[in-house]
């Protein structure tokens, strides 16, 4: 399989938009994997697996069930250092740059190394920015960090640029799962213009209009979890 990051960069250059469906192993019934994948929007390009609080066993079992049923790239989007499965194709190696909790800037990352080194996962350095989604979200609770206010556009851009200078290959703008307000178009476009890297946007996107607005603003990939978990397939 071609490298996941290379494909994302190629799609970005070609202007092809990507859609990732996020599966939280804690809420997912593995016996429904085949049905879930069959009902997924046909535009889906990636499957993300991860959650703020799920167990390593649930991640392993879910990844195995999904991989058995799809040829789409399966990418781990871990909530902590134990959410690693060698059965996936790639791992978003996240640093929560919006926060000031050292555990989510470097601690979890160091603790994940013994697990990662037992796998052949493609590692994708990713700047992860939590942005206020209008309610307290699981990421905020788990990481004990504050989101960046949506009005602080320059601070968000500067944080994303710091991620680029650190060598991150992707910028992930996250409003938090189930957010009331997705990341605003103005933030996406300002970040995209500055970083010139693939930009992923997720959190609170539950309508076709919101999805298209994110793409128009410059998001290369949109991640949707809750809307699909609830069986709300709007595409
Ligand atoms: C992925 O957290 C998002 O970045 C998913 O958010 O569950 O609100 O779609 P939703």
pLDDT digits (tens, 9 = 90+) for 179-219: 999 999 999 999 999 999 999 999 999 999 999 999 999 99
232 pLDDT band (50/70/90 cuts)?
Answer: confident
Q: Is the CB of 178 under 6 A from ligand 1?
A: yes
48: which 2 tokens?
């993300």
Task: Please tell me the residue having the least CA distance from ligand 1 atom 3.
Answer: 203
DSSP E strands: which ranges in the chain?
18-23, 46-49, 74-76, 90-96, 122-130, 170-174, 199-202, 221-224
Q: What rounded mean pLDDT belongs to the chain? A: 96
> Is pLDDT of 54 > 90?
yes
Q: Is the CB of 202 under 6 A from ligand 1?
A: yes
pLDDT one-digit tens code per residue, 143-183: 999 999 999 999 999 999 999 999 999 999 999 999 999 99
> 23 alpha carbon to ligand 1 midpoint, in Å?
10
Specify the DSSP class assigned to residue 210: H
Percent of the chain clearing pLDDT 70 (strictly above): 99
Of residues 233 and 80, more confidence is placed in 80
pLDDT, position 233: 67
> 165 alpha carbon to ligand 1 midpoint, in Å?
26
155: which 2 tokens?
């601070």
235 pLDDT band (50/70/90 cuts)?
Answer: confident
> 216 alpha carbon to ligand 1 midpoint, in Å?
19
**Binding residue ranges for Mg(2+):** 24, 52
CATH 3.10.105.10 fits 4-229, yes or no: no
Is the ipTM beyond the 0.90 threshold?
yes
Specify the DSSP class assigned to residue 174: E
pLDDT, position 189: 98
Mean of pLDDT values over 83-102: 98
Q: Is the CB of 226 under 6 A from ligand 1?
A: yes
Sequence-ordered list of residues with C-beta below 8 angstroms from that of 222, at least 6 positions apart, any chain: 17, 18, 19, 20, 200, 201, 202, 205, 211, 214, 215
Sequence-ordered list of residues with C-beta below 8 angstroms from that of 69, at least 6 positions apart, any chain: 33, 34, 37
Sequence-ordered list of residues with C-beta below 8 angstroms from that of 14, at least 6 positions apart, any chain: none
> Is pLDDT of 24 > 70?
yes
> 230 alpha carbon to ligand 1 midpoint, in Å?
12
Concatenated DSSP letters of 86-151:
TTSSEEEEEEETTS--HIIIIIHHHHHHHHHTTS-PEEEEEEEEEB--SS--HHHHHHT-PPBPTT
pLDDT, position 42: 86
Mean of pLDDT values over 117-140: 97
Q: Is the CB of 24 under 6 A from ligand 1?
A: no
Residues 99/143, Cβ–Cβ less than 8 Å: yes
Mean of pLDDT values over 127-141: 97
pLDDT one-digit tens code per residue, 3-13: 999 999 999 99
Q: Is the CB of 90 under 6 A from ligand 1?
A: no
**Binding residue ranges:** 24, 52, 172-178, 203-204, 225-226
Q: Where are the domains of the chain?
A: 4-229
Sequence-ordered list of residues with C-beta below 8 angstroms from that of 202, at least 6 positions apart, any chain: 20, 22, 172, 173, 174, 175, 177, 222, 223, 224, 225
pLDDT, position 134: 98
> Is pLDDT of 230 > 90?
no
pLDDT, position 150: 98
Q: Is the CB of 223 under 6 A from ligand 1?
A: yes
> 38 alpha carbon to ligand 1 midpoint, in Å?
20
Mean of pLDDT values over 108-125: 98
Which residue has 């799962």 as its token pair?
177
């Amino acid at each position: 399989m071609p490298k996941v990051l290379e494909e994302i960069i190629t799609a970005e250059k070609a202007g092809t938009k990507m859609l990732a469906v996020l599966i939280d192993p804690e809420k997912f019934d593995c016996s429904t994997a085949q049905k879930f994948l069959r009902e997924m929007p046909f535009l889906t390009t990636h499957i993300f697996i991860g959650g703020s609080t799920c167990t390593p066993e649930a991640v392993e079992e879910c990844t195995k069930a999904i991989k058995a049923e799809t040829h789409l790239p399966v990418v781990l989007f871990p909530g902590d250092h134990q959410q690693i499965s060698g059965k996936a194709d790639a791992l978003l190696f996240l640093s929560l740059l919006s926060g000031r909790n050292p555990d989510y800037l470097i601690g979890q990352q160091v603790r994940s190394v013994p697990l990662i080194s037992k796998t052949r996962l493609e590692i994708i350095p990713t700047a992860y920015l939590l942005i206020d989604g209008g309610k307290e979200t699981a990421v905020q609770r788990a990481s004990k960090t504050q989101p960046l206010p949506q009005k602080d556009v320059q601070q968000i851009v500067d944080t994303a640029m710091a991620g680029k200078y650190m060598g991150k290959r992707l910028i992930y703008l996250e409003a938090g799962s189930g957010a009331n307000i997705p990341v605003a178009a103005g933030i996406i476009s300002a970040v995209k213009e500055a970083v010139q890297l693939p930009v992923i946007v997720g959190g609170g996107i539950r309508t076709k209009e919101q999805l298209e607005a994110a793409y128009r603003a410059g998001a290369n990939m949109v991640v949707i979890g809750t809307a699909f978990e609830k069986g709300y397939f709007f595409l």
